[in-house]
Structure 1
Amino acid sequence: MQKVKVAVLGGSGYTAVELIKLLLRHPGAEIAAVTSRQAEHVADLHPSLLGRLDLQCEPFDPDALKAKGVQVAFGCLPHGTSMESIPPLLDRGIRVIDLSADYRLRDATVYQEWYKETHHDAENLAHAVYGLPEVYGDTLAGARLIANPGCYPQTAILGLAPLVANKLIELSGIVIDSKSGVSGAGRTPKLTTHFPECNESVSAYSVGTHRHTPEIEQALGDIAGAAVSVIFTPHLMPMDRGIFSTIYATPTKPVSEAELTALYRGYFAGKPFVRVRTAPPATKDTTGTNFLDVCVKVVRGKVLVLAAEDNLIRGASGVAVQNFNRVFGFPETTGLL
């Protein structure tokens, strides 16, 4: 098997180290470069990689990456920074799987509204493919630029997809109550994620203003073929990793749990990383894996969807590798099981 040379941009964070670990065990990937503003050996940034990857972090230089034969770059950069770094890579024929939010929203005005900054790369935004394989898989093969989905949105989109696709719930007033481990906030120190602040405490944040809201609505609208509106509220939990979402929706006709479970199993048949369960999942069931576990219930006339994933693997790095497999024609599970 001929290996694809890859680069990891922004190698100092949690997402990057998880991605590197996955790529190291991928038989079709060769890590040719890791970029970071911190000019250190990769193992100094991430001691868990000691003896596994002998690379020095280097400054971001598109020409240098091209000279190394890099064919695809995984962008683990903050939003706002990605849109500045990605165009020169694409100009040099390097494909990009971007883990930031810069290319997820198709409308630049919506991006500006929610992210409070102007999008500077409308040209590439126009042809970016949203990288949720279970929904957009047919458009991923050969894509030049993939916008990796957000962590929270995956539980909401995949949790609701069978229902909105079949018009079994009202498309407005959907309530998404989500909880995330602290690693979802990234590795950069912040007051709210300081141990004495977040340990033994649960708190809601970005109530009514969280940037994943339009991303969820955009994808669900694609699936439904009509506008979808949600109320999304995230919460910070005192645990390292994991996301759990409880979703409440109003059915358009009487439905039973058995019917809905069968619907979900049919919808996700052949999609190896979505596991449909009859009992509610727990975050520990998915820790360290690329699985998204989902369960659907009917309670007092409402449809409840319960979904869990590992925010760093399925929520970011794992689905990025899943997208990589789709782009380069590897079996979708390669390096992920």
Structure 2
Amino acid sequence: MSTPVFERSLQISQIDLHQGFERESNKVSFDLKTYLSQRQAEVEAALDSSITVVYPEKIYEAMRYSLLAGGKRLRPILCLASCELTGGTLEMAMPTACALEMIHTMSLIHDDLPAMDNDDYRRGRLTNHKVYGEDIAILAGDGLLAYAFEFIVEKTKQVPAEHLLQVVAKLGHAVAATGLVGGQVLDLQSEGKDNIDIETLNFIHTHKTGALLEASVVCGALLAGANNEVLHRLSRYARNIGLAFQIIDDVLDVTATSEELGKTAGKDQKAHKATYPSLWGIEESRYQAKKLVEEAKAELAPFGERAIPLMAIADYITARTH
């Protein structure tokens, strides 16, 4: 079955595009809080039905414990928004959106283990290994990672097989040593070192955090059959908001409380980790995050009114308090 493809013509000048978007955004009233709340509820319902508890019950309970622990659901929402932007539907994107949250949850379960970041709380409650033990927590993460790819292939409808293959390849690249795993390794190796420079810090976070955020945006567009020019724009948008997201995360680790964060505050400083505030200071870090968000939003200018959700999400990243 053929799928909608974002129209190919992007010939308008950049100046006209920016001015056109400003005119359109002034006409359109967009409530980000309502949008995020609605999409979050849809994602939560899909996640709840994605895993049922069967024998052996303990592993499925552990997987559900962390998968359904709440959170912003930013990655699946980005996937849904990107798919809609490029002519697709929520239905065709929801399995991939759920898979992204499964993979993200795996990374949180493993990141909290004593051998990694050693945290007792995540999303306001005890981490997986504190409830189920380290052995089951490791296996719960493994189970979620493997199931994510199966879920995409089995549950996605009305999407050509070649597009699904592109999505699976993009996700695999984002999680492997080329992405999340590689960033985590360098992060662990950098702990306690005083000579970490901005290039190393950027590498860590464009891989550990940014790679999956970028995949979230790009995969939504891949499902809809977007062309390369559109994919490159969305990729640049996502890389910028991914880095901005991590900068603000570092700032909040210093300025927010554990109750606000839903996890232990001040962890980075205690672990002697290099962070953006430690290199730039808090105000410069906020400025750099804002600058990245503005660059991200500029990539969306050709899409006009359809880009408003992704524009608003970019602004939300620097305005958030947890």
- TM interval, short-chain normalised: under 0.3
> More helix by proportion, 1 or 2?
2
TM-score for both structures, normalised by structure 1: 0.27
Task: Tell which has more relative contact order, 1 or 2 (C-alpha 8 A, sep 6+).
Answer: 2
